[in-house]
Amino acid sequence: MITDKNKLLRAIGDIDDKYITEILSEDAGGKQNVVKVPFGQRPIIRNMKYYLPAAAALLIVVACIKSGVFSGFGGASSSGTSADTAAPQAAYEASPAAADNYCDSAAEIDYDAKESEGMTSAETSQGSVEQGSVNYVGPTLSEAEADMINPFIDCRNLREAEEIAGFEFNVPEDLEPDLQAVYRAIDGKLIEVIYFDGDEEIYRIRKGTDRDVSGDYNDYSVSMCVDSAAWAAELKGYKDGLTNCAVWTDEDGFGYSLTTEAAPIKTDRVIEIIDLLMQ
Amino acid sequence: MEDSAIIELFFARSEEAIKETASKYGRMLKSVALRILRNMEDAEEAVSDTYMKTWNSIPPTRPNVFSAFLTKITRNISLDMLDKEHAEKRGAGEIPALLDELEECIADNRIPVPGEGMELREILNAFLEGEKPEARKIFVRRYFFGSEVKEIAQVYGLGESKVKMTLARSRERLKKCLEEEGVTV
The model's pLDDT over A213-251, given as tens digits with 9 standing for 90+, comes to: 988 878 788 888 887 777 888 899 988 899 999 999 888
Specify the pTM: 0.45
Q: Residues spanned by CATH 1.10.10.10 within chain B?
A: 95-180
Measured between beta carbons, the chain A residues lying within 8 angstroms of B75 are: 13
Q: pLDDT category, A255, cuts 50, 70, 90?
A: very high
The model's pLDDT over A47-96, given as tens digits with 9 standing for 90+, comes to: 444 445 555 666 666 665 555 554 443 333 333 333 333 333 333 333 33
Calculate helix-pair angle for A17-34, B66-82, nearest 10 degrees: 100
- The whole-angstrom distance between A100's CA and the closest CA on chain B is 22
Task: Name the β-bridge partners of A257.
Answer: A206, A247
Residue B116 has pLDDT above 60, yes or no: no
Identify the CATH number of the domain defined by range B95-180: 1.10.10.10
Look at the domain B3-90 and name its fold.
Rna Polymerase Sigma Factor; Chain: A (1.10.1740)
Q: Residues spanned by CATH 1.10.1740.10 within chain B?
A: 3-90
The model's pLDDT over A26-44, given as tens digits with 9 standing for 90+, comes to: 877 542 222 222 233 333 3
The model's pLDDT over B14-69, given as tens digits with 9 standing for 90+, comes to: 989 999 999 899 888 988 888 888 777 788 889 999 999 999 888 888 998 999 99
DSSP alpha helix (H) spans, chain B: 3-11, 16-37, 40-57, 66-82, 85-90, 95-103, 117-130, 133-143, 149-156, 160-180
Measured between beta carbons, the chain A residues lying within 8 angstroms of B144 are: 12-13, 15, 19-20, 23
Subunit contact A8:B111, Cβ cutoff 8 A: yes
Q: Which of B125, B155, B18, B61 is nearest to A33 (CA)?
A: B155
Question: Residue A132: helix, strand or coil by DSSP?
Answer: helix
Contact B72, A13 (CB under 8 A): yes
Subunit contact A2:B143, Cβ cutoff 8 A: no
Nearest CA in chain A to B112: A1
As a whole number of angstroms, the distance between CA B3 and CA B87 comes to: 32
By CB atoms closer than 10 A (0-12, 13-18, 19+), residue A57 is exposed
Q: Which amino acid is at B38?
A: R
Cβ neighbour number for residue A92 with a 10 Å cutoff: 11
pLDDT for res A159? 92
The model's pLDDT over B145-161, given as tens digits with 9 standing for 90+, comes to: 988 888 898 888 888 88
Mutate which of B21, B25, B41, B65 to test chain A, going by most A C-beta atoms within 10 A?
A: B65
**Partner residue facing B125 (CB), from A15, A23, A150:** A15
Report ipTM (2 d.p.): 0.81
By CB atoms closer than 10 A (0-12, 13-18, 19+), residue B155 is buried
Residue A275 has pLDDT above 60, yes or no: yes
